[in-house]
Each structure stands twice: as C-alpha cells, then as structure tokens.
Amino acid sequence: MTPFKLNPPPLELMPGSTILAYLRDSGHETQELSIAQQQRALEEWANLHSLVITRFFVDEARRGSSVAGREQLQQLMFALRHGAPEKGVVVWSYSRFSRGLDEPTLYRSEIRTLGYTFHSLTDDVPDGPIGRIVEAVIDYKNYQYLVDLSIDIQRGQRDLVMTHGCIPGTPPRGFKRVAVTLGKRRDGTPHIAHRWSPDPDTAPLVLKAFQMRAEGATLSTIRAETRLYSSINSFVTMWSNKLYIGIMEFGDLVIDNYCQPVVPLDLWQLVQDKQQTFKTHSHMTSELDHPRRVASRYLLSGLLRCTQCDGVVNGNTSTFRGQRATDTYQCANVRKHACSSRRIPKQLLEETIIKSVKDYILDPDVALERQKLDMENYQGKQAETDKQRVLLRKRLVKCRRALNNISSVLKERKHSPTLLAQLDELESEQTSLLSQIAQLERPAPVVNLDRSALARRAEAIINLFDSGSLEEQHAVLHGIIQRIKVENKDKRIRGVVYYYSPSHDPPAVSIALTPPGAPRFIHSITFDVWYKTGTPRKKKKDQP
C-alpha cells in the first residue's frame, strides 16, 4: 500500500470501468525508480477501486516543460481520438502529465471534449467549474517550479564558472574537458567538475581553419582539410567564439585570460572582418541570384545596383491608361520611398551594356593590355608574399632554437613549471608558423591567354549574343560582369560596369571561371547615354 492518501476515482469511473494510465519522469538520476513507483501505485489504486488499467503509456526521461519528443503521450491522444473503449485517463499527478503553462490545459480539454475522464491521483481538484480554476493554479505552480529550478541551476553554474572556471556541457572543437576536484559532497564522494582547456590534438586544426578562412577559403574546403565538423554551418558559429582567443563568455559573465589562446588575436579579428564581408556579399548574392531573377526575361536581372542607394534594380513592366506595356528597370527602394532614381528603359540599357561588352571588354587588344597590368599587379603582390615568407622562416628558426634549448634544460632539471609553460607556448607558435608558411607557399595558378585565344573567346561570346537564347545570354553576362551600378538622371543613363579579367583557357565562355586558388582580377568601364522622351501622351479633349 502507498504510504499516503490517494484521491478516489470520480463518479464517472464506476467499479469495473477500464482506464488508460500515463506515466512520465524527467530522467534525472534521482528519478531512476520514478516510473516503476508510479506504475505500482496506480495498479494498487486501481485494484482497490475495482478499476482495470488496460494500458500504460510511459514516457521515460522526457522533460515536462514541453510535449516535444513525448511519443507515448501522442500515442495516447491518437488512441483517444480514434474512439478507444476505455472510460478515462489517470495520471500520478498533474506535474507528471506536464509542467507547461498552456499545453496541459489544451490536452486535458481535448481529452474531456472527446468524452473521457481525466483524473490525478495526488492533486486535490474539486468537481465542477471551480475545478478548472484550481487546475490552472496547479499548472502555474508546476510551471513556476521549473522557472525557479532553472534560476537555481543557472546561479549554481555561474558560481562554478566564476570560482573555479568549470563549465558544464561539451566544449567546442579544439578544446577538451579537464577534471577538477572541488572537494567532497555531503555523502563523502568527491565533487568533480570540468574546465575547458586547449586540446593538443585538435587545436592546431582550429588554427589552420582560421588561417584558411582569413585567406578566403570556402567552408567546404576548410571542412575537407580539417574535418573539424561534418556540417558546414557549424563553422559559422566557430568563427565568432571568443574562447579561441582565451575569453570565456558564460551568459552575462565574461572571463578574460580564461585559457591559453588557440588563435592569435590579430588572426581572429581578421576572420571577423572577413566574415562581415562574406555576410554582405552573401546578402547581395541571395538577392541578385534569386531564381525569379535568373529566369527573368530581363537580360540584366541580377546584375544591376542603384548608384544612389545601392539597392537592387529589378525589371519592371508598367502600363498607363490601357496603352502598350513599357519595360523598364527600376530600383527596388523607389517603392519604399527610400530612393528617387527614375526608371531606365529596358531596351536602351541592355543594348548599351551589350555594346560595351562587344566593343571594349571583349576586344582582344584591350584584354591583352589588361592582362599585362594584372600580371604586374600580381607580381608585386608575390614580392610582398616572398618577403613575408622570409620573415616567417626566420621566426621559425628562432622558435626551433628556443625549443631545443628548453628541451635540453628540461632533460637536466627533469621538471620546471616555468620552462614547461614556455615550451607549450613555443610549440604552439611553431605550429602557427608552419601553417602560415604552408599557406604562403601554396601555388596560385595564373593563366595568361595570347591574343588568338582572346579573339576566339570574343567570337564565341559575340555569337551567343547574336543568336543564343535569353538564358544563354543571361549566363554569359553573369560570367563576364560582376555587377553594374546605374542611375537615370534627367534622361541621362550613367553607370559603371565591373567585369572580370579573362583568366581561364578557352573553350570556356565564362570569364569568371578560374582555377582553384587562382587570383581573380576585376576592372571597370563607365558608360553615359542620353535619350529622348518616348511617345508623347495624348492630351485630353475638352469636355462639351
């Protein structure tokens, strides 16, 4: 028999009635027998009142604040919704059913609406309308218990972090859990918590990932070379984690010098700047490469930006009092009253851009001169890279010399905390230097096209402009042009075309295609076109 009084069944559950039972525990170590105890108590209670429990629905290790993941509760509701022959549902307590604020009311209401009785063995709820008010109070009490418990846990964890630097949970990549004994618990067992410390096995991979990102490597490439995460999205969170520069952020608590940095501060900041650039570019790309723009009948869709506000310029079809539709390009911010740029005639702008591409951008002689300038610029950057490589190698020699000296001293003295700390720092520095040198020594393929190759490319692209489909022409323009800044002011269309310098062997038509790791050069050309007003509108006749 249970050592405390349980509520008798309601009048609707007469002796001999069949019922269903729902059991739940949160999975805490102190509740390892909770399900068995609930089931035993419900069976004794049912036998005492001559009731028959036909099935137990059991959700083990499921939190009460939400019904998410509680499959047995859903199975129970499924059975009731499909006309289960039982008369009602019994639970040990309202808190075992749910500790949510709204969900328990909704589920109990549905159970009762379907014609079944809902009964708790331990919550004293009177019959009638007043019982619903009492249930609401019980739900609030159960919910507030979770809130208070969460506050207590957070306070305890915060104190643990502040006092001992011990963090619950799983550390990020590049770190490992190190056990710390804080004393003894009340039962005499050791109280063990964990700090997060750099992992010598994975920390170098994290450093390598940051260095690759700083140099503009894609997330797919970084994942393939480091294998830190299986999901690309996980790297996005990693870049902003200040723990890699030794700063622990735990809620509102910030601990400087929490651990030895895995990533140098200047490199970490460089990645933050690079990420901000990627976000801006990604935002622009998501707008410009929207499927509706790619498939648009507007040839320049996805390439245009407004000179005034840098907004996206879209194709727009307008009519006036039943007249023939007019195709134009218009800044998207005009409708938001954030830009005053005027509409740009579609045909005139497209013809202007295509003419610029044919007559100037694709001209073999002009492209050859641009290619020479690109090569001079590239060689200048390579000279700076060579200087940086020499400096890094000198630092590496000094670092290795220091490592050898400290290792020799440690062999004689056997143990020295100061020297061991210096040894760790030098080993980390050596790893960083080796990675930086390897990145600088990675060959960057550069393709130089002769005049005949440039001429063949120009001929192929011009043929597509003259006879290709709209989709082909659209793809070609995206392969040549990075973006176009344009505006219409007093019937004067002015703008700048930013385009790629040829850097890939024919027969590929797209100029934007480059070998992996190859530098990409971008040039620009301005255009300025005047135009006259189109067909004048008819004046209204005087009314008689």
Listed residues 83, 115, 148: the one ending a domain:
148
Examine residue 318 and state whether it is found in any structural domain, yes or no.
yes
Total domain count, the chain? 4
Examine residue 168 and state whether it is found in any structural domain, yes or no.
no
Range with the lowest mean pLDDT among 124-128, 409-413, 482-486?
Answer: 409-413
Examine residue 90 and state whether it is found in any structural domain, yes or no.
yes
Alpha carbon distance 245, 255 (integer Å): 11
Same domain membership, residue 295 and residue 283: no
Same domain membership, residue 112 and residue 33: yes
44-55: average pLDDT? 88
- How far are the Cα atoms of 48, 392, 393, 411 from residue 253, in angstroms, in the given order? 55, 37, 40, 42
- Condensed to tens digits (0 to 9), the pLDDT of residues 214-273 reads 888 888 889 889 989 887 778 888 898 999 999 888 776 788 888 999 999 999 999 988
120-140: average pLDDT? 85
**Which amino acid makes up residue 481?**
I
Can you give the pLDDT at residue 541? 42
Listed residues 417, 440, 463: the one ending a domain:
440
Examine residue 372 and state whether it is found in any structural domain, yes or no.
no
Residue 412, pLDDT > 80, answer no
Confidence tier at 414 by pLDDT (50, 70, 90): low
Can you give the pLDDT at residue 252? 67
Confidence tier at 287 by pLDDT (50, 70, 90): very low
Confidence tier at 116 by pLDDT (50, 70, 90): very high
Residue with tokens 């490597």: 217
Q: What is the CATH number of the domain that holds 66?
A: 3.40.50.1390
Can you give the pLDDT at residue 377? 77
Examine residue 8 and state whether it is found in any structural domain, yes or no.
no
Share of the chain above pLDDT 70, in %: 82
Same domain membership, residue 470 and residue 355: yes
Confidence tier at 534 by pLDDT (50, 70, 90): low
The dihedral region occupied by 432, where left means phi > 0, alpha psi between -120 and 50, and beta the remainder, is: alpha
Cα torsion 355, 357, 360, 361 to 10°: value is 180
Same domain membership, residue 108 and residue 38: yes
Confidence tier at 509 by pLDDT (50, 70, 90): low
More confident residue, 308 or 532: 308
22-33: average pLDDT? 66
Examine residue 41 and state whether it is found in any structural domain, yes or no.
yes
Same domain membership, residue 126 and residue 107: yes
Same domain membership, residue 357 and residue 484: yes
Answer whether the bond into residue 507 is a cis peptide, omega within 30°.
yes
More confident residue, 531 or 205: 205
Can you give the pLDDT at residue 386? 82
Same domain membership, residue 411 and residue 425: yes
- Run of H or E including 81: helix 71-81
431-439: average pLDDT? 72
- Condensed to tens digits (0 to 9), the pLDDT of residues 300-340 reads 888 899 998 888 888 887 766 666 678 889 898 888 788 88
358-382: average pLDDT? 82
Residue 44, pLDDT > 90, answer no
Same domain membership, residue 296 and residue 284: no
Tell how strand 88-91 and strand 18-24 pair up.
parallel
Range with the lowest mean pLDDT among 7-16, 135-144, 320-329, 402-411?
Answer: 320-329
Give Cβ neighbours of residue 493 (< 8 Å, ≥ 6 apart): 344, 348, 349, 352, 486, 487, 527, 528, 529, 530, 531
Same domain membership, residue 464 and residue 322: yes
Same domain membership, residue 461 and residue 327: yes
Alpha carbon distance 431, 438 (integer Å): 11
More confident residue, 417 or 447: 417
Examine residue 219 and state whether it is found in any structural domain, yes or no.
yes
More confident residue, 430 or 73: 73
User: How many C-beta atoms lie closer than 10 Å to residue 281's C-beta?
Assistant: 10
Confidence tier at 415 by pLDDT (50, 70, 90): low
208-218: average pLDDT? 88
103-112: average pLDDT? 88
Residue 446, pLDDT > 80, answer no
- How far are the Cα atoms of 154, 164, 188, 193, 211 from residue 183, in angstroms, in the given order? 21, 12, 9, 10, 41
Range with the lowest mean pLDDT among 70-79, 93-102, 103-112?
Answer: 93-102
Range with the lowest mean pLDDT among 86-100, 272-286, 452-466?
Answer: 272-286
Domain range for 500: 291-363+450-530
Can you give the pLDDT at residue 542? 41
Can you give the pLDDT at residue 208? 93
Same domain membership, residue 471 and residue 341: yes
Can you give the pLDDT at residue 64? 65
More confident residue, 117 or 145: 117
Same domain membership, residue 385 and residue 488: no
Can you give the pLDDT at residue 175? 93
Examine residue 196 and state whether it is found in any structural domain, yes or no.
no
